[in-house]
Each structure stands twice: as C-alpha cells, then as structure tokens.
Amino acid sequence: MNKNQKIIVYGGAGVLVALIALIVVLIISNSARTAQVNDARAQADSLLLANDRLLLTNEFNQLNADFSQYEDQQVYLKNDSLVQQYNEARLKVEGLLQELSAEKRSNDANRAKIKKLEGEIATLKGIVKHYLEEIKRLGEENEGLKQEIQQVTQRNEQLATQVSVATRNNEQLTQTVKLAKKLNITGLSFHAYNKKGKVEKNITKARQLGVSFIVSPNNTTSPGMKDFHIRILSPEGSLLGNGGTFKLDGQSVQSTAHRTVEYANDEISVSVYWDVNTTLTPGDYTVEVFCDGYRLASRHFTMKK
C-alpha cells in the first residue's frame, strides 16, 4: 500500500468515525429533547387537571354557600324533596372531587371524570336554583300571610275597641236609666220628740226621733209599694236602733227603721219614726235615707242639750 492509499484509507476511517460520533450525538440529543418534551407535556397535563379541579371545586363551594345561606328557611318548604336531591347530588360531586384529588395527570379517564363532574355540578346548580326560587316564593307567600294576619289583627283590635266603646256606652246608658228611675227627695228634716209627742230641743229628753222628707214625682219609676229605710248615726258613730236590713250594692245593710208606702208617681210626704231606747248625747247626728237600693240623701244635724 502506497502512501496515497494509506492517506485515503485512514482519511475514510476518520470520516466514518466522525459520522458515527455525530450520529451518536444526534441520537443522544434527540432523546434528551424527547424527554424534555414529555416532561413539559406531563407538567402541562398536571396543571390542566389541577386547574380544572380548582375551578370546579370553587364552583361547588359557591353552590354550597348559596344553599347554606337559606338553609334555615327550609321550614317554608312543604316537603324536603329538594333538600334530599341536593344532598344526593352533593355527595356525588364530593366523591368525584376526591377521586380527582389523587390524580396527577390529565388523561382520557380523568377527562371523562372531569366531564362527569361538570355534569353533576350543573345538576347541583339547577337544584340550588330551584331551591332558592322555591324559598323566595314561599317566603313571599309567608310575608303576605303575615300582612294578612296583621291586617286581621288590627281589624280585630278595632272591632274590640268598638265593642268596648259600645259596652261602655251601654253601661252608661244602663246607669243613666237606673239613675233616672231613682227617686228624689227634698225637705229632709230630723227632729226629736218628748213623751208628749212634742218637738224636743234637748236631745237628752227625747223619747222618739223622726225623719221626714218629700218624694218628688218620677214617671220613669215603676209605681207600687216602696220601702224607705233610714239610718241614724249617733255623734259617737254608732247606728241607732234595729230596723232590719236592706240590700245596697249586693250587701246587706242594717237600718234604724223603715216604712213602706204606696207610690203612684206623684209627690208624697213620708215620715219615719224610731222610739228611743238608749241614752242620747248632744252632737252631730247623721241621717241617711235609702230606697230601691239607692242612697237618696245623707245629711248631718246638730242636736243640743
């Protein structure tokens, strides 16, 4: 082999070695780039999965917040079917989110789970919307009922007031009628009499006490027999005599003496006497006259010794 041939052989061998080295370098470089691309793609898939999961999680949390805001108003619902539907859909969403939380990359299976999760959240959103609309509608109905009840209550209060006023008016009218039937007396006098039946100025010598008065005409009073009771109180405040009892405001009251006369709605003079059976003292005597459950008069008389 001559010198030129050696140069050609060695040169060709060098070129071959260089080509082989270049091919090896290219293969290694391409493998590295492929690995980098695969890593970048894996990171992108992971980020995409995490982003989808985060968005759906936030949407789910917002739905829960909206539902919880009106949860205390479930009393308005006539049945709890909406609440039951909500709880069933919520459990499905929570299960899918839990499954996706363990996944790191986006693949066909995970994308199917994402699609299913989106569908379940859409169902949940519809239930929450229907729930809130129902709560609002029933709340408005309840508010309307409250207003109606308030109006009825106010009306009842007005009626109660009217009844109360009418009752008072009737009571006043009844009292007026009763007072109109009350007999009126004038000229009330009180005298002491001695044993000869003469007026006695010295009260200590009195053998009889007399009360006289005039009954005025009153057409509103039913005519008939009238019992006139008198009460005489001594200066010491004790009741004189024992003339029986009569009714006054539902109570039995003791009298000094009484007299029954016929009343024909005309003016009549009435005198009632009491025989003294105790020692009388000078001073102020109180004389009261009663008839038909009314006090007709009360007056003080000063009797001297």
pLDDT at 208 over 50: yes
Q: What are phi and psi of 281, to 5 degrees?
A: -120, 155
Q: What is the pTM of this model?
A: 0.46
**Mean pLDDT, to the nearest integer, of 203-211?**
96
The radius of gyration computed from the CA coordinates of the chain, to the nearest angstrom, equals 59
> To the nearest whole percent, how much of the chain has pLDDT over 90?
36
pLDDT of residue 37: 47
- What is the spatial distance between Cα 232 and Cα 241, in angstroms, rounded to a whole number? 8
Distance CA 71, CA 124 (A): 15
Which run of H or of E encompasses 167? Answer: helix 108-181
Q: Rounded to 5 degrees, what are φ and ψ at 286?
A: -100, 125
Pick the residue with more confidence: 113 or 18?
A: 113
Give residue-wise pLDDT tens across range 133-177. 777 777 777 676 677 777 777 777 887 787 777 667 666 655 544
Q: Which of 75-89, 177-191, 244-258 has maximum average pLDDT?
A: 244-258
Mean pLDDT over the full length of the chain:
78
Residue 192's pLDDT band (cuts 50, 70, 90): very high
115 is written with which tokens? 């699609």
pLDDT mean over 278-283: 94
Q: How far apart are CA 92 and CA 90, in angstroms?
A: 5
Tell me what percent of the chain is helix, strand and coil, each rounded to the nearest 5.
55, 25, 20
Segment 96-109, tens digit of pLDDT: 677 766 665 556 67
63 CB burial (10 A radius; 0-12, 13-18, 19+): buried
Window from 83-92, 121-130, 203-212, 281-290 with minimum mean pLDDT: 83-92
Instruction: Work out the widest C-alpha separation in the chain, in whole angstroms.
Output: 203
More confident residue, 44 or 204: 204
Residue 181 makes CB contacts below 8 A (sequence gap 6+) with 218, 220, 221, 222, 292
Q: Using an 8 Å Cβ cutoff, are 102 and 123 in contact?
A: no
Distance CA 113, CA 24 (A): 43
Q: Which has more confidence, 149 or 286? A: 286
Of 267, 174, 177, the C-alpha closest to 218 is 267
How much is the average pLDDT of 13-35?
62
Identify the H or E element spanning 114.
helix 108-181
What tokens does 100 get? 């996706």
CA atoms of 79 and 77, how far apart (whole Å): 5
Closest CA to 231 of 250, 205, 207, 211: 211
How many residues can be counted in the chain?
Answer: 305
Asked if residue 122 has pLDDT above 90, the reply is no
Q: What is the pLDDT of residues 213-260, one digit of tens each?
A: 999 999 888 899 999 999 999 999 999 999 999 999 889 999 999 999
Question: Edge-to-edge strand order for the sheet containing 208-215?
Answer: 185-193, 208-215, 268-275
DSSP for 272-295 reads EEEE--S---SEEEEEEEEETTEE
Percent of the chain whose pLDDT exceeds 70: 65
All domains of the chain, ordered by start, with CATH? 3-138 (no CATH), 185-303 (2.60.40.2560)
In this prediction, residue 124 carries a pLDDT of 77
